[in-house]
Structure 1
């Protein structure tokens, strides 16, 4: 760029997106005089999904604002809880977030996920077609124009990822109502209805079952149930209501 110089400062929480030399305080940025502030912010590495209020000389401006020489720009993070237009709140996760997808489904949150890589264009288009918030650690994916809504997943640890998404969006939690494998809704089932999925020991030891109305998978309180109950209990304690 070769044009008006502005001074731009990003919030500390957004510093990971920008080059090291631009992370501390307001730094000079040379613009071309025609690009919008949204374009300038993204050119520095900050996805607009992560940019909240944009301030110029203390006043709020839209992403379509065209900066002029001397502007003092502040990029704030999104306000939490973040409100997404439309209802109900639904998510779409990229191929690298399988554990997070299963935990969101465990909590009853409508979460689409494919274990194969659909590719960035297809994911962004699916987000728009189904009006789902796309969750990803791919910054380039979150900058695609066809994306309906998105959010960067900051951590690589599933427990931290779950906490961050629940804190940011505060979705309604309805634990034990969705299939963790396909996202379908669960219904009560008799032992006879799911008998073909039960090994001998399971058939003898358990009497309470649920079954996915979409894929038919059976569920019961097996060996890992205590671990799943702990995940649910922590989420409900902090985010229910």
Structure 2
């Protein structure tokens, strides 16, 4: 089944766009077209702080809406905080939207009865715990384990990062009882398969999970018509108000000629 998907890196640089696109190519279905973009320069380059996350809100949501207007079947918000996922679903009327934490938790709790999430820093844990509760999996949470490596540093010394991941995964399994491991940052890409083979448990990659979940949701929509309910949580704001207030400003930045 053909799907046109947009993966949005919600940061103000395109350093990871080509790498993520190339990384995901082997995992997408044959009929899936995948484009990867980031937000405009001048916005935060990572989202480790609430202030940074707040600054990207309008640009991210306008990018999501523009993708829907341009005929994308699905959109992935590429940050494990799942920033503004509910708001994105609210403004869309036909396009599927998902994000890494939601997808990883759905998949991880299908493959095991409990999970631990490997986060970059302790700073991340309170918000990520809130997301676990929001998505309904707090009773499946074994633990959070922190690498204490910032997002921008994760790929600078891959061997050091992998060794830190080994240490925390071992503790999550042996001490916390985790049956599945969720990698809690999209920039932890490239590590899952080696770690999975080493520890013998599912290690869920934060890029592959939302890609496959987006394909799944798009397939459901096309085959069954199942889509986000608009009766309450995801009710779309009146277009008349949006136009009247002059807040409709859909746009996105072209990156690597992808769009």
The two structures have a TM-score, normalised by structure 1, of 0.25
User: Whose helix proportion is higher, 1 or 2?
Assistant: 2
User: Whose strand proportion is higher, 1 or 2?
Assistant: 1
**Whose relative contact order is higher, 1 or 2, with alpha carbons under 8 Å and at least 6 apart?**
2
- Which protein shows a greater Rg? 1
The two structures have a TM-score, normalised by structure 2, of 0.24
